[in-house]
Chain A
Amino acid sequence: MREARSKYRFWNEFGKSLKPRVEELKFSIHRITKSPLSLVGLALILVFALVAILAPQLAPPERLHEPYHIPRDGYAAAPQPPSADHVFGTTEGQYDVYYGVIWGTRTAFRIGFMVVGATMLIGLLLGSLAGYYGGLVDEIIMRLVDIFMSIPTLILAMAIVTALGHSLDNVVKALIIVGWPIYARLIRGEILQVREQDYVSAARAVGCSHVLIILKHILPNSVYPMLILASLDIGAVVLVAAALSFLGLGAPVGYADWGQMVSFARNWIVGPPQNPLAYWHTITIPGLFMLFFVLGWNLLGDAFRDILDPRLRRR
């Protein structure tokens, strides 16, 4: 009997220690379900995630070794309207729009996560160094941030892509180089505020090292605004990447990417005089995908703010 009790004690303890977390998670879910806009955002992102995951089923690639290459049906310039073969029609050069937007979802997620993940990491590292240590370190890092932020984002990104060569990887690199200063500045500001709190001094008085204080005591109290910005930024990053692709600086021709889909449609926005809407699908469909993707992340960012910001959470 005693043996059995000791066996379950660990799980009982574990369950008890988990209880507040489960409560808070329940509350978070309650918060999201209370606000319809957050639900819409969540639903949009879930749908896009599903599309990205199921891309091989939704649009089976013809050439398995390069699934991101959009199949084309002939070489004629003028786009074809939607038909049974091509659900969303074809765009300039007979590239299949349906295939392009489905596999483009994967590209969008990849760009968004890679860029935002890397910028967050760099921003977190440099921002916490600058904020915590202050003095010369702060001065050097923040002036670097100022220099980067003084050049218009898109122009700098274009210059970097042009210098590195046209490819999607270089677009990602360029966006990382352009994007980290905002995160560094944000996290620095938060840390400046948190490091003056008594609990940081208390941790020092207990004998914590600087690294432990930053990681354990300061960052958990200052990282939330950055998470909110990050979720908003995924959408924005995808837009900038699309802009670069539109300008012909992004993915190679024929690569499944929403920016390039829009770029294909550039000459076909307005049709012939007698039927100006003849080629509506070329611009509208990739445009709508982009619109909903960015909208989804923005709404989700708002939801994150409601959940994560302790000042808004209990309202």
Chain B
Amino acid sequence: MSKLIEIKDLETNFYTYEGIVQALDGINLSMGEGEILGLVGETGCGKSVTALSILQLIRPPGRIEKGEVILRVQDKSNQSKHPIDLLDQTELLMQKVRGNEISMIFQEASEALNPVYSVNNQVSESFLLHRQKELCQDVLRKIEQDIGKGRSFLRRIILKMERRIYLRMREDPSSSLLAILSFLPIVRSYKRRMVDQARIESIKLMRMLGIAHPEEVVRRYPHELSGGMQQRVVIAMALACSPTLLIADEPTSNLDVTIQAQILDLLRGLREKLKTSILFITHDLGVVAEICERAAVMYAGHIVEIAPVDSLFRKPLHPYTQGLLESVPRPGCKGRLRSIKGNVPNLISPPPGCRFHPRCPFVMAKCSERKPALKEIEKSRFVACYLHHQETKKNDT
């Protein structure tokens, strides 16, 4: 499996009045093509900040301090893929990457939809932004058909004008002439064909996502849809341009269990169909076990463990992961549920060294001195804990 995205030493800080919040402190993560990776952790451990940093959507007072986010992008001219560092890109280039290469599903579907626009308007926005040339192609085909039908003289003149406009748009979607034309009253109605085409595309997409009566749904406004339906629309928005990486930020945490299962099924099916990699952010370990192949556990801005899901659940290595798994209620388990003692540290003044050491039952002297690196101790199992680093050393000697 070739790597799709690699995050190296990503650091993001928030400059607040109280001090500098070190939200991400050296995140290392990589994802293969078509992989579903779970990113697990408590609230406020930096899961969403990681997602937003990848897309460069961190708003002030937040700032990405250093690191690399290397995405392998398909080259249009030749079939090879070449890596680009997203953090070096200009805003204009990032706008082309967002929605096209990487897109994001937000947590609250009801809030991720703009209340003043119909579903169609929001889903087709992505098509209109990133798929102009393809849409033009389709529109031109339709115009040719209409011309072939041989309508009245005036109609044919209009159709020929439209054809010229769309030929031009196909060559250069951002030409200034088109920008002027799109402001002129009557003339701008040529855009209607484009919008119609985008609506056909969105209906197609929504049918693929298993939405019943998509022709009906696209006309609705967000408040007229149920929670599950809203989440599907949000997924449709994210998938419009079949991105290579989909970031799903707790897409199921506000849905009830049956809808949750449906959405998870949907995402799994999409991975099969579109070969999209999914970075699945959640705090729900059950969901991780259900859908992910690998999981990365985050704690207070560090990644503490990355492992394939089944071995992570069978034999968690990091003390935090162990604590996390023990605090999940299981049927047949008597007695009090165990919890991790202590509180999540304040990230303005995080504990030195391993950020988990004040709460760790196996704390050692050097835990508070230096941050343990994320090391591969078994095949494809990475842990950032001195407990296991020592073991490997012992094995070596």
| Residues of chain A at the chain B interface (Cβ within 8 Å) | 16-17, 20, 134-135, 197-199, 201-209, 217, 220-221, 310
Contacts and interface: CB of A to CB of B under 8 A. Distances in A.
Nearest to B96: A207
Chain B CB count within 10 A is highest, among A197, A199, A310, for A199
Interface of B: 52, 55, 57, 60, 95-100, 103-104, 106-108, 111-116, 125-126, 129-130, 219, 221, 234, 237-238, 240
A17 B106 CA distance: 28
Given A206-B98, A208-B95, A221-B116, A201 B106 contact: yes
Contacts of B116: 220-221
Chain B CB count within 10 A is highest, among A16, A197, A205, A209, for A205
A146 B126 CA distance: 40
B114 A17 contact: no
Among all A-B residue pairs, the 3 with the closest Cβ atoms:
A207-B99, A198-B111, A206-B99
A206 B126 contact: yes
A203 B113 contact: no
Contacts of A310: 115
B237 A206 contact: yes
Given A203-B125, A207-B100, 10 more contacts: A16-B219, A134-B60, A198-B108, A198-B112, A199-B111, A201-B57, A202-B104, A206-B126, A207-B95, A221-B115
A292 to B, nearest CB: 35
10 contacts: A198-B107, A198-B111, A199-B115, A202-B237, A205-B106, A206-B125, A207-B95, A217-B114, A220-B114, A220-B116
Given A198-B106, A205-B55, A207-B98, A135 B125 contact: no
Contact of B114 (A20, A199, A207): A199
A208 B95 CA distance: 6
A205 B122 CA distance: 12
B104 A205 contact: yes
A197 B108 CA distance: 10
Contacts of A134: 60
B219 A205 contact: no
A201 B114 CA distance: 11
B240 to A, nearest CB: 8
A132 B240 CA distance: 27
A199 B113 contact: yes
Given A207-B96, A207-B98, A207-B129, A197 B57 contact: no
A221 B114 contact: yes
A206 B96 CA distance: 9
A135 B111 CA distance: 26
Nearest to B115: A221
B127 to A, nearest CB: 10
Chain B CB count within 10 A is highest, among A20, A202, A221, for A202
A217 to B, nearest CB: 6
A208 B111 contact: no
Chain B CB count within 10 A is highest, among A135, A201, A220, A221, for A201
A196 to B, nearest CB: 9
Contacts of B106: 198, 201-202, 205
A240 B107 CA distance: 50
Contacts of A135: 60
Chain A CB count within 10 A is highest, among B52, B108, B112, B240, for B112
Contacts of B60: 134-135
A217 B222 CA distance: 14
A199 B129 CA distance: 16
A20 B116 CA distance: 12
A96 B170 CA distance: 66
A308 to B, nearest CB: 12
B112 A202 contact: yes
Given A199-B112, A201-B57, A221-B115, A207 B130 contact: yes
Nearest to A221: B116
B95 A203 contact: no
B98 A205 contact: yes
A172 B130 CA distance: 45
Contacts of A208: 95, 125, 129
A209 B57 contact: no
Contacts of A217: 114
A17 B126 contact: no
Contacts of B107: 198
A199 B100 CA distance: 18
Contact of A205 (B103, B114, B115): B103
Nearest to B114: A199
B236 to A, nearest CB: 11
B48 to A, nearest CB: 10
Contacts of B219: 16-17, 20
Contacts of A203: 114, 125
Contacts of A17: 219
Nearest to A209: B95
Nearest to B109: A198
Contacts of A199: 111-115
Nearest to B130: A207
B129 A206 contact: yes
B108 A205 contact: no
Nearest to B110: A198
A197 B129 CA distance: 21
Contacts of A20: 219, 221
Contacts of B111: 197-199
A221 B113 CA distance: 12
A199 B98 CA distance: 15
Contacts of A202: 104, 106, 112-113, 234, 237
A203 B106 CA distance: 11
Chain B CB count within 10 A is highest, among A197, A201, A206, for A206
B281 to A, nearest CB: 14
